Amino acid sequence: MYVEDVDYFDHSEADYNIEEEYLETVNKEQLLSCINKLSDDEKYFVHLRFVNEMSLKDISELLGITEEAAKKRGQRILKKLRSYYEEGDRSAQNG
């Protein structure tokens, strides 16, 4: 490869898209790893809420709990996921 050939590479958009795609993949893998740490019931709740895009009202009816209980359960699960995610970030920075 000759130095002149380097001019043919478009560094701005191509590199940015590759980098962005890589970071997105890493973030998804880290999030999936965090989700896998949840209990089966918590995973089921996450699936209902974010994959099936169910409302808290619908989830509460399906699970036989109050809507407020569904809301609190969702908040606790998200807090736990956030903790797992941050824990992973800290270990990656220290490693």
**70 in Cβ contact with 77 (< 8 Å):** no
Q: How far is CA 69 from the centre of its chain?
A: 23
CATH of domain 11-94: 1.10.10.10
Angle of helix 67-94 relative to helix 56-63, nearest 10 degrees, comes to 110
User: How do the domains of the chain map onto residue ranges?
Assistant: 11-94
Handedness of CA 13, 15, 18, 21 (dihedral sign): negative
Q: What is the pLDDT of residues 47-82, one digit of tens each?
A: 999 999 999 999 999 999 999 999 999 999 999 999
CA 95 to chain CA centroid, Å, is 21
Q: Is 60 exceeded by the pLDDT of residue 92?
A: yes
Percent of the chain residues past pLDDT 90, beyond the cut: 57
Rounded Cα distance between 85 and 3, Å, is 43
Grouping H, G, I as helix, E, B as strand and the rest as coil, residue 86 is helix
Mean pLDDT of 14-25: 73
